[in-house]
Chains A and B, each alone.
Chain A
Amino acid sequence: MATRGQGSLVHALDYLPLLAFALFFYAIPICYVLASINVQELAGLLNDPYVLKLIWNTILQAVASTIPSIVLAIPVAYFFANYAFRGSKIVRNLLLTPFFVPAFAVTEGMIIMLGERGLVNQFLELILGTRQPVSDVLYSVTAVVMTHVIYYLPLAMLILEQGFSSVDQDQLDAAHVSGADWLTTLRVVYLSHLVPFLAASAILVFAFSFITYSTPILIGGKFTTLEVEIYSTRTRSVSSSLAIIQLAMTLAISVLVMAFRERTYKSSLGSARPLSREEGQSHTLGRRALLVYCILVAVIELMPVYLVLVQSVSQSAVVLFPTSISLEGFSALFAQEFGFGVGFIDVLLTSLSIAFVASLCSVLLSILIAWRGLQSKRARESTGLLLSLPLSISRSSLALGMMLSYGFGMLQLYGSWILFILGDIALIVPLIFRVIEASWLRIGSEVREAASTFGASDLYRLFRIELPLIAPAVASSFMLAFSSSISEFTFANFFSTLNLMTLPISVATLLDLRKFGPAAALNAVIILIVVAAEVTSPAVSQEALRVM
């Protein structure tokens, strides 16, 4: 019989992987940022009207990004939750493309769409019969908000789809039998289930929009945010002080994310009879309208990425369909030297290798954290809380902290590929942990208990029973991690040297060298790798992605 002390030790071990991860990847780098803070400066900033205005602007644009993202995502989520069709998983994953390709690729697509001579203006000029640009939204906060909607609508859709899927089929059947109209059904059956999912998706979209920085820099014109200010002052102590203010605010947002996440999980993992999806063609007018709406959303979502792909093989500036195809940009990549002895193949293989190693390490670490975290309810809740915090943390602040701590401080890793992998793991684990944990929770405690009754050890149960059951989720999360790593820009921007760089950094290098054709081609290469990972994901796994 285990003594009380041994029991405490076992419980403490449940937290060990999580605490080690949090300490190494977050606490130590943040401490390095904290160490460079000037307390007087920090106090002064809290009363600085300029900083207060920045905070207010940041909040306003985040709210403005959140509301349309959620509202527009609801019908799409309903559609995917209710209707199954061949390739629906691929379509759903493809919709995530704007979220995973580098921000500068999507913003390039938005510039092609929204510019004075962009597609939107060309279309409006045609409709209205004018020769003057009608829309003037590029380089404004409106363009930032529109781009955020493109990024985050699919994210909201995934969370809301989980909400719609968790609606009790028995309640729906009862509403149908009792002759309830659609409004009553919506109010009584759907809303009661959806509120936590709506709140969770809204908070997550708000959090991501809150920490935005590359989108305002590229297409925000004079509009600026707190994160942009941190970036602009990043080598001075004021940057650390601003980062701490940002960190405190994102911490509060993360706690909210966590609170709603717990409710979401409780709802989604309840004992309700799952919603049965309808297969095949839709017939009613409402369903057809919904289908048309979803196609329209999918077209708008994928349009910026498509335009960047077209641009890479086209010789004209703004085109929906290329009139003549040119592969000059791609062939020029092979002749390009990006830095010191770094050719295109080197960059490609380096990126793929870093993505593979980082993804595998992240998956293994996530499994370890989830496995130990599931040993008790308290451990699971603490794990969920701690791993929710990084989702909305300022990336540039964390990258700065990692640079100070592991790049130059404790480990002297600047210039090494290991630093890239550490940065990737810090970002990826909080993201994929959810996919793995959600899958694990669905196994059910009775399976574990039955295995234990027959004398299975913890390790035997892990390797022979639980891991095989969650294998599809593991495969899915690996692909998610791979997509995320291959297009990661913020950390790579801090860590790369001209001797070692990844694909997104090479695009930036080409732009610096004024080589737009090869830069567009390389952007296309990144997009194609991300799309391939997304398309492969449902092929290797039937697991639905979960981002909350």
Chain B
Amino acid sequence: MKPSGRSAIALSIVVVLFAASVLFLVLRQPELENTLIVYGPRGISGMATALLQEFQKRYNVNATFIHYDMGSIDIANKLISEKGDPIADVIIGVPEFYAKQVIDADVLDIYTPPEIGVIPASEVWDNTGHILPMDKGYILITYNQTILSQRGLPAPRTLDDLTNEQYRGLVFYQDPSTSGTGLSFLLWVLSTKGTESGFTFLKQLEPNVKLHPSGWTSSIVALQRGEVAIGSMFNTDVEYVEVPKLESTASEGFVYREGIALVKGAKHREIAKKFIEFALGVEGQDIVAPAGYMYPVNPDASFSALAQAPIPQVQVTFNSSIAGNVVEWLDRWRREVKGA
């Protein structure tokens, strides 16, 4: 069964291309066996990648960041599901408000690096020592001054201002199921008003809300195109170069704090400890502001990249008395607020 001349040429080209493709993929295949694996939410992949790239250069080891396209709670749950045989060595971006669940699941080891001594006690929020503070940011009510001026509207200053009828169809806050900023907004409301009153407030706010973007990108796109004018954003998004006149009175804001932890049963335990030390040291903390748009907790680290961002006058932190119900709140939000 010999193929004809043209068929033979076509067949040869296909075989060569197939072999070349497989060869390329085999050569490009990353080796994960001898690699430090760091888990974290997708939202901080820029910062995590920059940190790990620098760490690789410094210690000449293989390291990677895995987020599975998950948010901070989902990735923490993924770690919990791997209890006893973890894939990750370190987890970063563990939010303060979900720390209790992760610690109670017994998937973290206590590690106290020397660098913790220079971090102010006020920045340490996990007293059990499992999760070390790494960075923080501020969620503010921001607005597009151009649109408000065109419509002759005053700038919103507080959460309650957002329910003002004159802002109907102009407000947004991110979907807390898919966005860390959205979850922070939800927790800001619940920390300030309590659970029941908080949900009542969110339901009152909903008629003014035009959309719940899935994350930062869709929020910025909606702001850029003038679809929305008022909403929750990190303070570092104010004066963001591509959004015209995004401002904030910064009267009040929510402090979003996240940490880093050593995974119990980590396969690369010693290098994992080195990474934690690196991430909390000046060298690693210097990367937090420019790559993650967050504030480092090490006072010796620079955050000059965020110099223009307004710091809220009243800072609301997570109300630990309501800890432990985040998943239930997300369900409730989808059912009673978004899906109502």
Contacts and interface: CB of A to CB of B under 8 A. Distances in A.
Interface string A511-531: 111101000000000000000
B212 interface: yes
A229 interface: yes
A284 to B, nearest CB: 43
A527 to B, nearest CB: 18
A541 interface: no
Contacts of B63: 340
B32 interface: yes
B46 A340 contact: no
A232 B45 contact: no
B64 A499 contact: yes
Interface in B17-63: 17-18, 20-22, 24-25, 28-30, 32, 42-43, 45-46, 49, 52-53, 56, 63
Given A221-B211, A417-B25, A463-B1, A512 B225 contact: no
A353 interface: yes
A232 B212 CA distance: 13
B217 interface: yes
Contacts of B210: 139, 221
Give the residue among B25, B70, B222, B226 with the most A Cβ atoms within 10 A. Answer: B25
A165 interface: no
Contacts, number: 128
A217 B339 contact: no
Interface residues of B, number: 58
Contact of B226 (A50, A117, A337): A117
A514 B66 CA distance: 20
Interface in A390-444: 408, 415-417
A4 interface: no
Interface string B218-241: 101110111100000000000000
B334 A229 contact: yes
Contacts of B226: 115-117
A99 interface: no
A340 B64 contact: yes
A10 B52 CA distance: 57
A79 interface: no
Contact of A417 (B28, B46, B334): B28
Given A224-B339, A357-B21, A499-B30, A234 B227 contact: no
B335 A415 contact: no
A383 to B, nearest CB: 25
B242 interface: yes
Interface string A108-138: 1001000111100000000000000000001
A111 B221 contact: yes
A200 interface: no
A222 B207 CA distance: 11
Give the residue among A53, A346, A415 with the most B Cβ atoms within 10 A. Answer: A415
A111 B49 contact: no
Main secondary structure of the interface of A (DSSP, over half): helix
B294 to A, nearest CB: 14
Contacts of B209: 222
A165 B11 CA distance: 33
B68 A494 contact: yes
A349 B26 CA distance: 12
B248 interface: no
Contacts of B30: 340, 415, 497, 499-500
B39 to A, nearest CB: 12
B168 to A, nearest CB: 12
B43 A512 contact: yes
A274 interface: no
A498 B52 CA distance: 11
Contacts of A270: none
A468 interface: yes
B14 interface: yes
Contacts of B20: 353
B191 interface: no
B339 A53 contact: yes
A460 interface: yes
Contacts of B227: 115-116, 138-139
A493 B42 CA distance: 11
Given A235-B78, A493-B69, A115 B212 contact: no
Contacts of B78: 235
A514 B78 CA distance: 27
Contact of A356 (B21, B211, B220): B21
Contacts of A50: 334-335, 339
B177 interface: yes
Contacts of A235: 70, 74, 77-78, 81
A232 to B, nearest CB: 4
B201 to A, nearest CB: 17
A494 B69 contact: yes
A189 to B, nearest CB: 42
**7 A-B pairs with the lowest CB-CB distances in the bound complex, closest first:** A499-B30, A353-B21, A232-B177, A235-B74, A511-B217, A221-B211, A417-B25
Interface of B: 1, 7, 14, 17-18, 20-22, 24-25, 28-30, 32, 42-43, 45-46, 49, 52-53, 56, 63-66, 68-70, 74, 77-78, 81, 87, 175, 177-178, 209-212, 214, 216-218, 220-222, 224-227, 242, 327, 334-335, 338-339
17 contacts: A222-B209, A235-B78, A339-B49, A340-B52, A340-B53, A350-B24, A350-B25, A352-B21, A353-B24, A357-B22, A464-B1, A497-B32, A497-B64, A498-B45, A512-B42, A512-B45, A514-B220
